Amino acid sequence: MSIGFIMLCHTALDRAAEVARHWAGRGYPVVLHVDRRVSKQGYARLTRLLADLDNVRFSARHRCEWGTWSLVAATQQASELMLREFAGVRHVYLASGSCLPLRPVEELEAYLAAHPRTDFIESVTTEDVGWTVGGIDVERFTLRFPFSWKKNRAAFDWYVSFQRRIKFKRRIPDGLVPHLGSQWWCLTRQTLSAILQDPDREAYDAYFKRVWIPDESYFQTLTRLYSTNIESRSLTLSKFDFQGKPHIFYDDHLQLLRRSDCFVARKIWAHADKLYDTFLHGTGAQQPKAEPNPGKIDRLFAKAVERRTRGRPGLYMQSRFPNENWENGRTCAPYSVFAGFTELFEDYETWLSKTTGSRVHGHLYAAKRVEFAGGETVYNGAMSDSAKLRDYNAQAFLTNLIWNTRGERQCFQFGPADTQYLGWFMALDQNAQISVISGAWAVPLFRSNLDFAAIRKEAARLQKIEGDFLNVLRSPYVKARIRIWTMAEFVESPMEPLQSIIDEINPRALRRLAEAPKMVDLTGFGQFLQNLKNQGMQPLLMGDFPVGDLPRSPGARRSRPYLVK
């Protein structure tokens, strides 16, 4: 008989009784503290359940409210009772009613016997803890907290900020260095009795009664005064979420708990029958004795916290709909937008798809219908090619597409003839790679068979739209990777820009571009622009095309463009 267990019980008393019986039945004394808020009948039932065990005691009941002194007072009295009644106890283990022993208690005894003078209590200075809720750490010890955080949050917050404003500070008793830590500890008789029998205890108690959440700091601080050997960790496996409430274990955590090699876990769901059955009554194959190793569980819960606080980037769904700029990534993966490339090159989409191995769509935002790759009418995620559906929520269309095709890079064409809602959205999206050959929309007009008056009108319209788009792309707030060339620049040396785009899409590809896409025949384009000018329009975005000069067609002789033929 070397370990005594103190259990603080609030709810699920039957489960607490099961666990108490587990320990007491094996000869380890248990002292239970039952919350005063538990009904008379509930308490009576619990005492009846454990009546046959002579090493179970019930300590004086306190009304326990979260974050208040009552929990410490309850622990103190239970500890005193334990030390007084059971002289053989060397270590006192503080547990709760929803704790569950994961390994045979004899193993715990052996473990503690191997560390006879060690106090297992998480005890960290306030400067070093990052987990305090509400950003209140050292202030727990220097402010006053007359209002309940749970029931009267507004008053609590107001009073805290008021004290901050008037720079109120309580004096911390001499000799105390505030420490915080998990409230579940295992202390040696020596340390615990020293704390409880301290001549200054009254002063300390008076001080801690006004500290916020003293159950996480009273023993953690006072242990530092007496213990010769503190192991600053808790033997109880207990994880907290981002709001500071404990994670709960269910039946499906069985294997994780088994492999954690921890001695006691908290908190167990009261209806997790399989867990209680397995760990309390199961024979359980004897595993080799190992140090507690909650790594896997840590990761599981760390991931849960991450999911709750940061979420999956680029996902918009029923329970994640971030305000603008809080998306943590507007879309979930990089994608490329090309403006003017299909106009300038023949069969550009096939070429791009072959070169980069990515999915290349046509004009996704075309006015008539969504031009999915391969002319599909429905695409990944069952997205429809209806332009009406797309335009109903153009932004969701893009974010959905990128989300649905995770793992495959998407490229699509864009131009001034398309639906234009998305300029700003893409410009502010760091996943977007936008490449524009400005003015290339004129090429289809140039090759079309329309009346010149109609062409002129359409050209003016498209130029205006593209001009607006370019203005957006040139804004100082832009996050996308943006490249803009005038058509004249691009035609002059197409390979270099293409290479840089491809390199960015596919940074690990070592090969230089071998095959260039074929440029459309631009003979007479300069004259076409001059005609537009003659009709009173000012084609600006194409850059300077000399009238009458034949732009060199690619694939012809690799001559320097400024050499006169």
Partner 1 sequence: MGLWNSYVLRLARRRWRFRAFRKRRELKPVVNRTGIIGRHDILVFSTLRNERVRLPYFLQYYRDMGVNHFLFVDNDSDDGSREYLIEQSDCSVWTTKASYKRSRFGVDWLNWLQTRYGHNHWCLVVDPDEFLVYPFCDTRSIRALTDWLDASSIRSFGAMLLDMYPKGRLDAQPYREGTDPFEIANWFDSGNYTIQRNHRFGNLWIQGGPRARAFFPQEPERAPALNKIPLVKWHRHYTYTSSTHMLLPRGLNLVYDEWGGEKASGCLLHAKFLDTFTRKSAEELTRRQHYANSHEYRAYAAGLKDDPDLWCKWSEKYINWRQLEILGLMSKGNWA
**Chain contacts with partner 1 (rule: CB under 8 A):** 241-243, 245, 247-248, 250-252, 269-271, 300-301, 303-305, 307-312, 315-323, 326-328, 378-384, 386, 388-389, 392-393, 396-397, 400, 403-404
CB-nearer residue toward partner 1: 39 or 283? 39
Give the start-end residues of each E strand in 172-315: 179-180, 186-188, 230-231, 236-238, 264-266
- Of 219 and 379, nearer to partner 1 (C-beta) is 379
If one counts every other C-beta atom within 10 angstroms of the C-beta of residue 26, the result is 14
Give the DSSP H/E element, type plus range, for residue 44.
Answer: helix 40-49
Cis peptide before 267 (omega within 30 of 0): yes
Give me the least distance between CB of 422 and partner 1, in Å please: 14
Residues 6 or more apart from 316 whose CB is under 8 A from it? 322, 396, 399, 400, 403
DSSP secondary structure code for residue 440 in this structure: T
| Least distance to partner 1, CB of residue 15, Å | 13
d(CA 198, CA 322): 53
* φ/ψ of residue 474, rounded to 5: -95, 5
Pseudo-torsion of CA 369, 372, 378, 381, nearest 10°?
-120
Cα(130)–Cα(128) distance, integer angstroms? 6
In the complex, the smallest distance separating the C-beta of residue 321 from partner 1, rounded to whole angstroms, is: 5
User: Computed over its alpha carbons, how large is the radius of gyration of the chain?
Assistant: 36
Nearer to partner 1, 141 or 335 (CB): 335
Distance from CA of residue 228 to its chain's centroid?
A: 40
**And the tokens for 554?**
């690619």
For residue 122, the minimal CB distance to partner 1 (Å) is 21
Q: How far is the CB of 257 from partner 1 (least distance, A)?
A: 13
Nearer to partner 1, 403 or 525 (CB): 403
Choose between 279 and 372: whose C-beta lies nearer to partner 1. Answer: 372
Distances (CA, A) of 207 to 191, 204, 441, 488: 20, 5, 77, 79
Identity of the residue, 309 or 559, whose beta carbon is nearer to partner 1 in the bound complex: 309
We find the least distance from the C-beta atom of residue 338 to partner 1, in angstroms, to be 23
Give whichever of 381 and 546 is closer to partner 1, judged by the CB atom.
Answer: 381
Residue 262 beta carbon to partner 1: minimum distance, rounded to whole angstroms: 16
Query: Of 26 and 259, which CB lies nearer to partner 1 in the complex structure?
Result: 259
Token pair recorded at residue 355: 């070169």
Give least dist CB 270 to partner 1, A.
8
If the CB atoms of residues 144 and 307 are measured against partner 1, the closer one turns out to be 307
User: In the complex with partner 1, which residue's Cβ is closer, 306 or 468?
Assistant: 306
Instruction: Take residue 246 and report the two structure tokens written for it.
Output: 């404990």
CB 336 within 8 A of CB 409: yes
CB of 370 to partner 1, least distance (A): 11
DSSP 518-564: EEPP-TTHHHHHHHHHHTT----TT--PPTT--PPPTTS----TTS-
CB nearer to partner 1: pick between 188 and 400: 400
| Residue 96: strand, helix, or coil | strand
State the nearest-atom distance from the C-beta of 544 to partner 1, in Å: 44
> How many residues appear in the chain?
565
CB of 331 to partner 1, least distance (A): 13
Which pairing describes strands 119-120 and 230-231: parallel, antiparallel, or unpaired? parallel
